[in-house]
Amino acid sequence: MKKYLITGVTGSLGKAVLDGLLPKVSKDEIAVLVRNEEKASEFKNSGIDVRIGDYNNESTLIDAFQGIEKLYFVSSSDLSNRTEQHLNVVHAATKANVKQVVYTSFQRRNETASSPIAAVAQSHLDTEKALIESGLNYTILKHGLYMDLLPWFIGAQFMENKSIYLPAGEGRAAFILRDDLAALAVNVLTSIGHENKIYNAYAESAPTMCEIAVEVSGIVKQEIAYVSPFVDEFMTTLSQAGVPAEVAGMLAGFSSAIAAGEFSEVSADISSLLGRKPTSVSTFLEQVYQA
């Protein structure tokens, strides 16, 4: 019997959770799920039990989940097939008799098709419902927007343009650092009493992009304005600047969701569970832009 199976370990979040877990529990208690055998060597070489399985293929998951007590289930990065993939994971966990599934869900306010990020949110809603109805013990972590994405929102050209240009209006977002989400996961996996709980995995404060522009101005010692265009104008400007439509569309969608207040709720859940405050936006911006 293995105590833990960590998925997504070839990606940023899963790797951070594995790295956080290794000093706390015996390596013999940990297995990882990898879909591509070529990417498994790093883990095999360090003596970790590697299970090969793909969210697209339920039978590979049933095999991979054998003897697993707690499954850390990182949501898929494949948005177009995500609901089907995630249902495969839930069904496989049920059939393999996994004792607890810790799922990385998503902060949101509007749960209808009118949400600016319905395409992202729907698969999380479907997965949460499937988990809750499955009879499995679940822990749902409603992840806020990654703070790590702030440089992407702010853009590489902000110093030249002297502005942050995003259709995020005056919306607030409780950005949270991926490493804090990993620390939360390690805490939940290694302590008791988290069965059938839903935690708000986002920050205790939620700045606007305007406030972020003021913070950045102070760090780079130059005035950086915040300009919030209409979405059509934003798309045209980015297209003229040669930004791929898919990237501009993602920026517009998430910015519109910020404007609509999708990520504005704040929570003390992370502080209560970790016994410390998560990294603030100010600290993160200083780390990124101080140089």
Ligand X SMILES: NC(=O)c1ccc[n+]([C@@H]2O[C@H](COP(=O)([O-])OP(=O)(O)OC[C@H]3O[C@@H](n4cnc5c(N)ncnc54)[C@H](OP(=O)(O)O)[C@@H]3O)[C@@H](O)[C@H]2O)c1
Q: Is 11 in the site for ligand X (CB under 6 A)?
A: yes
Q: Is 176 helix (H, G, I), strand (E, B) or coil?
A: strand
Contact 278, 176 (CB under 8 A): yes
Q: By rule CB under 6 A, what string of x and - marks binding of each residue 108-147 to ligand X?
A: -----------------------------------x-xx-
Contact 5, 32 (CB under 8 A): yes
Q: Is 172 in the site for ligand X (CB under 6 A)?
A: no
Give the one residue of 68, 71, 74, 209 binding ligand X; rule: CB under 6 A.
74
Q: Is 66 in the site for ligand X (CB under 6 A)?
A: no
Query: Closest distance between ligand X and the C-beta of residue 88, in Å?
Result: 9
Q: Which residues make beta-bridge pairs with 33? A: 51
| List of long-range contacts for 155-162, beta carbons under 8 Å, 24+ apart | 158/216, 158/224, 159/220, 159/222, 159/224, 162/222, 162/223, 162/224, 162/225
Q: By rule CB under 6 A, what string of x and - marks binding of each residue 147-166 to ligand X?
A: --x-----------------
Amino acid at site 26: S
Q: Is 8 in the site for ligand X (CB under 6 A)?
A: yes
Closer to ligand X by Cβ: residue 22 or 220:
22
Closer to ligand X by Cβ: residue 146 or 218:
146
Closer to ligand X by Cβ: residue 35 or 70:
35
Residue 105: C-alpha distances to residues 31, 65, 117, 161, 267 (Å): 22, 20, 14, 35, 15
Query: Closest distance between ligand X and the C-beta of residue 222, in Å?
Result: 28
Handedness of CA 240, 243, 248, 249 (dihedral sign): positive
| Phi, psi of 31, deg, nearest 5 | -125, 155
Query: Closest distance between ligand X and the C-beta of residue 192, in Å?
Result: 25
Closer to ligand X by Cβ: residue 108 or 241:
108
Q: Is 54 in the site for ligand X (CB under 6 A)?
A: yes
Q: Residue 23: CB partners within 8 Å, gap ≥ 6?
A: none
Q: Is 10 in the site for ligand X (CB under 6 A)?
A: yes
H/E stretch holding 235:
helix 231-240
Binding region for ligand X (CB under 6 A): 7-8, 10-14, 35-36, 39, 54-56, 74-78, 85, 104, 143, 145-146, 149
